[in-house]
Structure 1
Amino acid sequence: MEKIAHRNISVNGISMHVAEIGEGPPVLFLHGFPELWYSWRHQMLYLSSMGYRAIAPDLRGYGDTDAPASASSYSTLHIVGDLVALLDALALDQVFLVAHDWGAIIAWYFCLFRPDRIKALVNTSVAFQLWNPSIKPLQALRETFGDAYYMCRFQEPGEAEEGFAQADTAKVMKTFFSSRNPSALCLPKGKELGAIFENPLLTVPSWLTEEDVNYYASKFNQTGFTGGLNYYRALDLSWELSAPWRGLQIKVPVKFIVGDLDLTYHMPGVKEYIHNGGFKKDVPNLEVVVMEGVAHFLTQEKPEEISAHIYNFIKKF
């Protein structure tokens, strides 16, 4: 880990923290919520040892990267704009892209907006989503899951932050990373969001060390969770701004990996979309891997397997 270099780079009007290691063809890693560049530590070390240059930023709103105050500054256009500017600053014409969770959503949009900058994509957890063009995402989520759905509960500025603040940040991280329940996360109004983190039966997974927890906790103690929550608060804005690209296929080569215990895999219609031809229609050059007995944070739960999947895919190009 001490071989990983860190620096801040000015991109798209913000200062972005970037972790890097290795020399060779560049691989850009995009983390999810509530994560950091650190979520890719295993893959960065592995791929750098195999002759690649691993680059993992803290995305806008996270860690040591700037966090603009307004939720309207967190649309997919903003985030992809940050990443294009990062590639320009690093003088990189193209990269291999690897992503997870919210990073996966950003990666899909990156491939729509600027496919010329991506050689190939290894995406995990969140399949490509063609939002209904006639209904905003938040309305669709409310109609499917109700107002108690976690993405809906995250909308009110300050409410989720207050709930997270009720618990020790280390416990917040342990709760998220330990989750193996694939059912939709709902918390009815009137029940404090902080109740999510009061689980006396919580079993911390063996792949998560106290050192890992303390690193995440130290960064989120500095910045809070607002930056990451603003991605959810900009969902409808992203839907509006991405309208010109609606209906386009993802043309870059893609390997998609998901755990069969991932809550994203169990959302209504997702399995059918992945396995019955819809996904392949939208992403023609597609490979799909479903990992048995693996939950949402697969890049950390199964680091060796994920690293091998990434390497075996990108070495073809």
Structure 2
Amino acid sequence: MDFSKIHISADNPDVLPTLTYVLDNLQAVEERHAEINSKPTVPEYAVSSFNHKYATLNGYKYHYVEEGDPNNETLILIHGFPDLWYGWRYQIRHLVKQGYHVIAFDSLGSGESDHPRCDGDNYDPYRAKNLASNLIAFLDQKNLDKVVWIGHDWGAILVWKIGMYYPERCLANISVGIPYSQPTFEYVPAQVLAQHFPQFRYFCLFQTKEPDTWFEGDPKKFATAMFNSVYGSGIGTSVQEKQFYIDSFSQTTLHGAINYYRAVPFNHEDELPFVGKPYTVPSLQIIIEKDPVVTPALMSLYKTDTAVNLEKVSISEGGHNVHTENPEGLNKVLDDYLAKVFDKKN
């Protein structure tokens, strides 16, 4: 079989045919993954080895993992799509060893956090300003004044928004793989982006109701196809770890996670008061040179002139999921930047 057809890329941009191809060739995909990454998870990174907690934030239950001394500097990690808190497993353990207090959430709509459905056109639970408000409520509950926010993919987008809405609650923000996108008066639909970067056709589809009907609405089929596509022939996520993702999203569906895409037009409306205003939070934008989705060419198109304290750094190895594919490289970048934030010597 052609393993290049199981991943979304500019050369293979259509989501449903890709996921269908994965299911049609599932045995071969699973056998290939087992050849590459069949080693069992070491105990240090087992799901059960982490400290699991829950909080009610603005009426929604959130699941999170908390590690390290609460008296130390706090870092909050926010995952992307399709992911869970578990995507940060290598960073959580590493950053705690560096002396930080680390919290990683299941974002609303994923994992053990609540999954509000949006069957009409009201996506308020997933508007960035409301998601940001939920996490600020968490800081209030924990009596945390300011923290460092670290996000990947959709989590990075939310981190940028937290810095816009609540700069006073941010020591610094770190974005893994997603550019700073300053607010504009003009709304640019995803279809326009997809004309130039065809890998973003998935973004357009996820803004519709269509994905809720895929695979006869069977969440296990959808999850099996999705996570074998994302992890099935790459490094960094074992067969056992992939199954954790499949089991989790088979129980919850991907509806909530996909609602982040559907809420994008409403996010644009919410951001209009911030057009032209400076983005003051000290920030790090990490560029993943081999990311097949958010490519360096795409990132270079985003203007950052309103960001007054922005650093950029590139990581040469690892793809879109660099946090699992090249954790050592990402951890080194995080160490270096955090040392500057907290005036430490490595």
Question: What band does the TM-score fall into relative to the shorter chain?
Answer: 0.7 to 0.9
Which of 13, 33, 55 does residue 59 from structure 2 map onto? 13
Match of residue 320 from structure 2: 296
The Cα offsets for residues 93-152 of structure 1, whole Å up to 9 and x where unpaired, read as 111111100001101110000011111112111101135422353464466568981111
**Superposition pairs for residues 28-67 of structure 1, below 5 Å?**
28-67=76-115
1: CA distance between counterparts of 2:131 and 2:235? 33
Q: How many aligned residue pairs are there?
A: 287
The Cα offsets for residues 217-242 of structure 1, whole Å up to 9 and x where unpaired, read as 11111111001100000010111112
1: CA distance between counterparts of 2:273 and 2:289? 33
Flag the structure with higher helix content: 2
The alignment's C-alpha RMSD in Å is: 2.4
Equivalent residue letter for 1:102: W
Deviation at 1:155, TM superposition (A): 2.2
1: CA distance between counterparts of 2:76 and 2:256? 21
**Superposition pairs for residues 39-118 of structure 1, below 5 Å?**
39-70=87-118, 71-118=123-170
The Cα offsets for residues 179-235 of structure 1, whole Å up to 9 and x where unpaired, read as xxxxxxxxxxxxxxxxxxxxxxxxx22321012101111111111100110000001
CA contact (8 A) 2:79 2:155 kept: yes
Equivalent residue letter for 2:255: T
Q: What is the TM-score with the length of structure 2 in the denominator?
A: 0.76
Deviation at 1:262, TM superposition (A): 1.4
Match of residue 223 from structure 2: 169
The Cα offsets for residues 27-49 of structure 1, whole Å up to 9 and x where unpaired, read as 00010000000011110001111
CA contact (8 A) 2:124 2:130 kept: no
Gaps of 5+ in 1: 179-203
Equivalent residue letter for 1:283: A
Equivalent residue letter for 1:225: L
Equivalent residue letter for 1:308: K
* Cα distance, 1:93–1:168 mapped onto 2, change above 3 Å: same
**Superposition pairs for residues 121-200 of structure 1, below 5 Å?**
121-130=173-182, 132-138=184-190, 140-141=192-193, 149-160=201-212, 162-163=214-215, 165=218, 167=221, 169-177=223-231
Equivalent residue letter for 1:6: H
Match of residue 189 from structure 1: none
CA contact (8 A) 1:137 1:239 kept: no
Deviation at 1:154, TM superposition (A): 1.2
- Percentage identity across paired residues of the two chains: 28
Say whether residues 1:261 and 2:274 are aligned partners.
Answer: no
- What is the SS of the residue equivalent to 1:8? strand
Match of residue 286 from structure 1: 310
- What is the SS of the residue equivalent to 2:243? helix
Equivalent residue letter for 1:288: K
CA contact (8 A) 1:265 1:271 kept: no
1: CA distance between counterparts of 2:90 and 2:327? 6
* Cα distance, 1:269–1:131 mapped onto 2, change above 3 Å: farther
1: CA distance between counterparts of 2:301 and 2:191? 22
Say whether residues 1:225 and 2:275 are aligned partners.
Answer: no
2: CA distance between counterparts of 1:48 and 1:225? 31
CA contact (8 A) 2:184 2:272 kept: no
1: CA distance between counterparts of 2:252 and 2:299? 33
2: CA distance between counterparts of 1:154 and 1:176? 16
Match of residue 334 from structure 2: 310
Equivalent residue letter for 2:269: E
Equivalent residue letter for 2:101: R
Q: What is the TM-score with the length of structure 1 in the denominator?
A: 0.83
Match of residue 38 from structure 2: none
Equivalent residue letter for 2:270: L
Match of residue 14 from structure 2: none
2: CA distance between counterparts of 1:258 and 1:73? 29
* Cα distance, 1:133–1:263 mapped onto 2, change above 3 Å: farther
* Cα distance, 1:271–1:92 mapped onto 2, change above 3 Å: same
